[in-house]
């Protein structure tokens, strides 16, 4: 029986997955979390065999959660289950170490099939994600990922785009406000953007955050 954790910020979807997986004798649900930071800490505490991870999470997004867990728990398997599957996001999740990616629009059959495959050591992509990956392979220039940003810059970009103040960001990351300001300046220089609104729009376009009116 595989020990499993669910990290999903949408309460209804998380509770639905919990109910479904509690009935599956292949898995033992050992924890659930509604945001990235809590999810990361939960995994560090219980060290599950497999994680179901949403890509868009408040505070610490799925890519960063996956990167950190990959360094600390390299044998853990991860299935991304997300309603957002743009090329940038899919590529970043795969590069961060995801073993599968199923879009929420694919339904529960695809989810369970993906979970079974990933937990068994394989890789699995839902139909929409598989089609997207084929398109990226066929048109490699179509995916414009911000590879030149550091992990810290990505983290700060997300927090800026989520309307956190310099003081809030400094407190959350345990760094000085001067350091936050320096990172913001570097972000604007690298991206050739000149205000917070432009940074927020960039974060939305590259899939780092989701629109606030998205359920």
Per-residue pLDDT tens over the stretch 89-118? 787 888 889 999 999 999 889 999 999 999
**79 in Cβ contact with 118 (< 8 Å):** yes
Query: Residue 211's pLDDT is what?
Result: 63
Domain membership of residue 214 (yes or no) is: no
Domain membership of residue 30 (yes or no) is: yes
* Number of domains making up the chain: 2
**65 in Cβ contact with 36 (< 8 Å):** yes
Phi and psi, residue 63, nearest 5°:
-60, -45
Domain membership of residue 137 (yes or no) is: yes
Domain membership of residue 210 (yes or no) is: no
Regarding whether 98 and 68 lie in a shared domain, the answer is yes
Select the more confidently predicted residue: 145 or 66. Answer: 66
Regarding whether 120 and 55 lie in a shared domain, the answer is yes
Angle at 87 (CA atoms; ends 84, 88), nearest 5 degrees? 90
In the predicted model, is pLDDT for residue 10 greater than 70? Answer: yes
**61 in Cβ contact with 68 (< 8 Å):** no
Which domain covers residue 100, as residue numbers? 2-141
Regarding whether 96 and 30 lie in a shared domain, the answer is yes
Regarding whether 81 and 166 lie in a shared domain, the answer is no
Regarding whether 162 and 112 lie in a shared domain, the answer is no
The domain that holds 188 is classified in CATH as: 1.10.10.10
pLDDT, tens digit, 9 for 90 and up, residues 76-90: 999 999 987 677 778
Neighbours of 118 (CB within 10 A): 24
In the predicted model, is pLDDT for residue 213 greater than 60? Answer: no
Query: Residue 53's pLDDT is what?
Result: 97
Q: Is 0.85 topped by the overall pTM?
A: no
Domain membership of residue 211 (yes or no) is: no
Query: Residue 215's pLDDT is what?
Result: 41
The domain that holds 11 is classified in CATH as: 3.40.50.2300
Regarding whether 103 and 26 lie in a shared domain, the answer is yes
Regarding whether 180 and 116 lie in a shared domain, the answer is no
Of the residues 141, 160, 194, which one is the last residue of a structural domain? Answer: 141
Regarding whether 135 and 66 lie in a shared domain, the answer is yes
Query: Residue 214's pLDDT is what?
Result: 44
**156 in Cβ contact with 187 (< 8 Å):** yes
pLDDT, tens digit, 9 for 90 and up, residues 39-61: 999 999 999 999 999 988 887 88
| Residue 80 parent element (H or E) | strand 77-82
Distance CA 46, CA 164 (A): 30
Regarding whether 9 and 114 lie in a shared domain, the answer is yes
Domain membership of residue 131 (yes or no) is: yes
Listed residue (14, 74, 15, 65) closest to 41, CA to CA? 65
Query: Residue 138's pLDDT is what?
Result: 57
Question: How many residues comprise the chain?
Answer: 215
Query: Residue 72's pLDDT is what?
Result: 94
Distance of CA 138 to the CA centre of its chain: 25
Regarding whether 168 and 112 lie in a shared domain, the answer is no
Q: Is 143 helix (H, G, I), strand (E, B) or coil?
A: coil
Regarding whether 128 and 51 lie in a shared domain, the answer is yes
Regarding whether 157 and 111 lie in a shared domain, the answer is no
Domain membership of residue 61 (yes or no) is: yes
Distance CA 6, CA 25 (A): 16
Domain membership of residue 43 (yes or no) is: yes
């Amino acid at each position: 029986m595989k020990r499993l954790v669910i990290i999903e910020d949408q309460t209804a979807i998380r509770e639905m997955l919990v109910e479904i997986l509690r009935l599956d004798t292949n898995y033992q649900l050992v924890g659930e979390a509604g945001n990235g930071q809590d999810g990361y800490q939960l995994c560090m505490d219980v060290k599950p065999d497999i994680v179901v991870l949403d890509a868009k999470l408040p505070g610490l997004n799925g890519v960063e959660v996956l990167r950190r867990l990959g360094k600390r728990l390299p044998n853990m398997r991860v299935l991304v289950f997300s309603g957002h599957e743009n090329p940038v996001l899919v590529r970043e999740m795969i590069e961060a170490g995801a073993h599968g990616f199923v879009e929420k629009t694919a339904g529960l059959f695809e989810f369970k099939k993906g979970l079974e495959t990933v937990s068994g050591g394989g890789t699995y992509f839902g139909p929409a994600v598989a089609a997207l990956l084929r398109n990226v392979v066929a048109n490699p220039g179509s995916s414009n990922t911000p590879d030149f940003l550091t992990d810290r810059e990505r983290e700060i970009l997300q927090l800026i785009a989520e309307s956190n103040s310099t003081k809030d960001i400094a407190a959350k990351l345990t760094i000085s406000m001067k350091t936050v300001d320096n990172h913001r300046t570097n972000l604007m220089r690298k991206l050739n953007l000149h205000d917070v609104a432009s940074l927020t729009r960039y974060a939305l376009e590259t899939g780092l955050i989701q629109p606030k009116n998205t359920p």
